[in-house]
Each structure stands twice: as C-alpha cells, then as structure tokens.
Structure 1
Amino acid sequence: MASKTVLREDALGSTRRVVGIKGERQVLFDIAEVIVAEAVGRTVWLRTDLGRFRCAIDGIDNIDDKYAECGFVRVHRSYLVNLSRVREVERKDGGELELTVENYGGVVPVSRRRAKFVTESLGL
C-alpha cells in the first residue's frame, strides 16, 4: 500500500524528502534530486537522475506549495521545475518559453502567463 506522505523531514529536521513509487517499491528522494514533476491527469510523475517515478500523492496542485520552498517553480499547469537544473531558456513565438532541463531528455513548456515570473526567478 502506497504511503500518502509526500514530504518528511529526516531525524535532523533539515532534509526534505519526496516519495516516489515504482512497482511495489517506495523510493525516498531528497527533494533536490527531483528534476521535474509532471502531471498527467491526476497522476504526478517525478523525473530524477534515476528515472521516472510516480509520486505518492495525486494532483500537482497538492504538491505545488510544498515544492516552492525547495526551489521548484510552477512553469505550466502540468509542470513544476527544479530551477537549479535549468540549463537553457528559449523564447518561442507568442511569448512562450521552453526550458532545457538537465537530464530531462526534452524541453519543458512555460506558459505565457508564467513566463515573466520564471525568467525573474532564474535571474534573467
């Protein structure tokens, strides 16, 4: 049975953890190990250097606030991005942006509505 605990503190109270699920395994990641969180319907997928894991809690809105304090930004209705893993920003026609994120294997779209906040968050 999958745990509904998404983030927890370690014994020292300093390390934030996120629970990913792969098959019957629950895998604990330090929040900094997560590259991108992507929503597909109500399911949230965590992309890490070790691969893709289903998040233990459904709904990207349910984890958005918890990730924000850890360096994650909501860039699109379906994506949260670890800003420390962003390597390139490309401006597309119509004001949309695309982010190239380290070890993601593709680009992450940024909505026009969130573009200014994302570029400011990246110091651009």
Structure 2
Amino acid sequence: MDIRKIVTTCEDIQAELGEPTGRIVRKAVASAVIDNPLVGKRHKDLIILEAMGAEISGLLAERALAALGVEASEVTAYGKGAIVGTAGEIEHAAALIHPRFGAPVRKVVIKGDDIIPSTKKVAG
C-alpha cells in the first residue's frame, strides 16, 4: 500500500451553543491519504481495497488513541469514513472501510461487536 501521508488532529471542545460543556470533550481524527490502485478502472474484485482497509485501520486507531491521550477504556465513541477522488468510485470507499476495517479498530479501542458508524463520499 502506498501511503502518501497520515494526518492526526485532536480538538478539545469546551463550549457548545455558547454554553460551557461542563467538561472538556476531546475528539481525535487520524486520516491517511493513500493511492487507489483501482482508480479509473472498472474492477469488480475489490479485495485489494478490503486488504488495504484492514492493514491501515489499526494504525489509524492507534494514532487517534495516542492523540486523545487516554486509555482505550475511556473512549466513548468512534467512527470511520472514506473519501475517494472523482476518478474513483463510491464502492472503492466502501471496500476500504467495511469488510475488514472494523476488527483491527476494535482491538485498539477494546470495544465489542458494535457497528461502527461510517460515511463515504466521492469528492474532487
């Protein structure tokens, strides 16, 4: 897999709608920009993207957890998403984040079999 870059960010939310939250709500995002080997091609077998999703998901979960600076047991919510360029297809995003992405993430955040909320987009 060709990873162009990994970006990790963390934010502390202290107020919403002009009111203090009463506690700091911390959110972290770990994202990767990768080369899509199927871009511009009609390809029914998406197994290569499924494998890439499985390979990178644990790494991204570890990066996000480190950015949060808490124990895995303290994580209260998590999700996943993928954006593909306009030369890709929405199915490419789905192949990255659905079939095999979840198990490595669950190992990092030590959560059960919950469905991981997700989104996928095609964008330019």
TM-score of the two chains, using structure 2 as the length reference:
0.28
Structure whose alpha-carbon radius of gyration is higher: 2
Give the helix-richer structure, 1 or 2: 2
Give the strand-richer structure, 1 or 2: 1
